[in-house]
Amino acid sequence: MLIDTFLYNFGQYILLLKSAIAKPERFSMYYKETVRQMDAIGVGSVFIVLLISVFIGMVTAVQFADQLGDSFIPSYYIGYIVRDITIIEMAPTITCLVLAGKVGSNLAAEIGGMRQKEHIDAMEIMGVNTAAYLIMPKVIAAVLVIPLLVAISAFVSIIGGYLATVLPGSISHTEYVLGLRSFFVPRYVFIMFVKAGVFAFLLTSVSCYFGYYVKGGSIELGEASTSAVVVSNVLILLFDFIIALLLT
Amino acid sequence: MIRTENLHKSFGDNHVLKGVSAEFHAGKPNLIIGSSGAGKTVLLKLLIGLFRPSEGAVFYGDTNLFSLDDKDIRSIRMKVGMLFQGNALFDSMTVGENIRFPMDMFTRLSLKDKNRRVDECLEMVNMEGINDRYPSEVSGGMQKRVGIARAMVLEPKYLFCDEPNSGLDPQTSILIDELICDLTNRNNITTVINTHDMNSVMGIGDNILLLKNGKVAWTGDKSQVLESDNKVLEDFIFASPFLRRLREDALKQRQGG
């Protein structure tokens, strides 16, 4: 039963993506919608991303500072650890998990609401490819904007680590900066952007899928929104593991 | 003209339409009537291609809608206008933007020309000057008119109306009926109206299709309704004692005259 449901949903998701990849009826309309979504997803999420990123950096730095406290490992390693752990894992994964909650639920509710109010039927009857018009701009906007948010998140997390360790005097400014500048592997930044792009695609396309096929009333819309967030989160973690296996 | 041949539609074990064959002509309103659950909305959605039939065919002229691929179905739909029961106006857009949307999507007209066409369509439905208002800021009857204006903006060859009178007072209902009838006649459109409003049946029913339990129970026009001895039609149209008395009086007058 569970496998049947999974296969049915997976097949329908692939078919929806296939319909969504189509030549736009009017390029300018798709462009306008993409820009609107970039604003909604990107600018609309900056504050929450800044907030969580500061705390990610602070917590990471404080906990590693505590663990390294009595060891022979030089304390400047805190900056190094905060930098790498933020770039490889925390910034892309935590940011996208949070965005799956904020953006994903919003997209599922927006498209689901349009389905319930017959807006999607109205567009279909006008001759609009609704899968393309409603989904493609959102996915493109997210894939362009979320990696930028993740880069901001990594930067702010490193600042958060600095604030949490240098200001209270756990380590010095010089040590933290030395750590940040030590053993840098540029490929980790590439991995961060790969993760961010893949997670952005997953969280938007999956959320749009749940909204697009919603049936029933407000309870079903709420369930679709919840499913969008839960499934997006599980897929983000699954693909986090797959990318880690493939790229490290 | 739109024609259906032996249309069947099932949802799981629920066999909703059971072999509907009908013709919908150009230049006059075609009404689909029937009690709730008779299959009216399902038939309408099959006619537009929003549902696929379990069996049977829908012909637009000589073209079977369901033999076409998605792209060709979309090109037929560009000749279709639809008024939804709930209007389906995009609530984040103004009235003007709602009506302009199909033009933005499918035409290369300048903004000035598009806005001129929006004004023409609003004038056609007697709703001039509400371009900048949002759907939530106008009444139900006005929303219906805006819905009609949006449906007419690309000069469709086919117009579908799902319960155009639902939620409207009798006077506004009659105005909407007259408007649809006028647009149909003037533009020689094939109009299909799904309704259970008796005023519409007797007012604009030039071609009526009565459905019962997913089958065609009666076809005819408004002039045949009074004298028909079809039991299903009689039970449906003259369900209330008041209407039954009116019918009896009308028949007596005719016999007397």
Q: Is the pLDDT of residue B21 over 90?
A: yes
Tokens coding A114: 């349009």
Measured in residues, chain B has a length of 257
Task: Locate the domains of chain B by residue range.
Answer: 2-223
- Binned at pLDDT 50, 70 and 90, residue A127 comes out as confident
Q: Is the pLDDT of residue A203 over 90?
A: yes
Mean predicted lDDT score pLDDT of chain A:
94
Residues of B in contact with A25 (CB under 8 A): 105-106
Task: Identify how many contiguous H helices and E strands chain B contains and give both numbers.
Answer: 10, 10
Q: What's the gap in Å between the CA of A70 and the closest CA on chain B?
A: 60
Q: Is the pLDDT of residue A24 over 80?
A: yes
Task: Tell me, yes or no, if B11 comes closer than 8 A to chain A by beta carbon.
Answer: no
What is the mean predicted confidence (pLDDT) over B93-97?
Answer: 95
Say which residue the tokens 């030549």 belong to.
A23
Among A28, A119, A127, beta carbon nearest to B74: A127
Residue-wise pLDDT tens digits, B219-231: 988 888 877 888 8
ipTM for the predicted complex comes to: 0.82
Between B241 and B88, where is the model more confident? B88
Residue of A40, A39, A216, A20 whose CA lies nearest to A112: A216
Q: How far is CA B68 from CA B6, B49, B76, B257, in A?
A: 18, 10, 10, 54
Residues of A in contact with B81 (CB under 8 A): 125
Top residue of B74, B87, B99 to mutate, by most chain A CBs within 10 Å, is: B74
pLDDT of res. B1: 86
CA distance B39 to B3: 17
Between B72 and A45, where is the model more confident? A45
Residues of A in contact with B74 (CB under 8 A): 127-129
What is the mean predicted confidence (pLDDT) over A32-57?
Answer: 95
Task: Locate the domains of chain A by residue range.
Answer: 26-242
Top residue of A19, A36, A126 to mutate, by most chain B CBs within 10 Å, is: A126
What is the mean predicted confidence (pLDDT) over A9-24?
Answer: 93
pLDDT of res. B133: 95
Task: Tell me, yes or no, if A116 comes closer than 8 A to chain B by beta carbon.
Answer: no
CA distance A210 to A148: 26
pLDDT of res. B94: 95
Q: Is the pLDDT of residue B257 over 60?
A: no
Look up the CATH architecture of domain B2-223.
Answer: 3-Layer(aba) Sandwich (3.40)
Among A26, A117, A128, beta carbon nearest to B88: A117
Q: What's the gap in Å between the CA of B3 and the closest CA on chain A?
A: 18
Residue-wise pLDDT tens digits, B139-167: 988 898 899 899 989 989 999 999 888 87
Between B76 and A190, where is the model more confident? A190
Mean predicted lDDT score pLDDT of chain B:
88
What is the mean predicted confidence (pLDDT) over B125-141?
Answer: 90
pLDDT of res. A67: 87
pLDDT of res. B146: 92
Q: Chain A window 9-68: which residues touch B at a Cβ cutoff of 8 Å?
A: 19, 25-26, 28-29
- Name the residue in chain A with its Cα closest to that of B107: A26
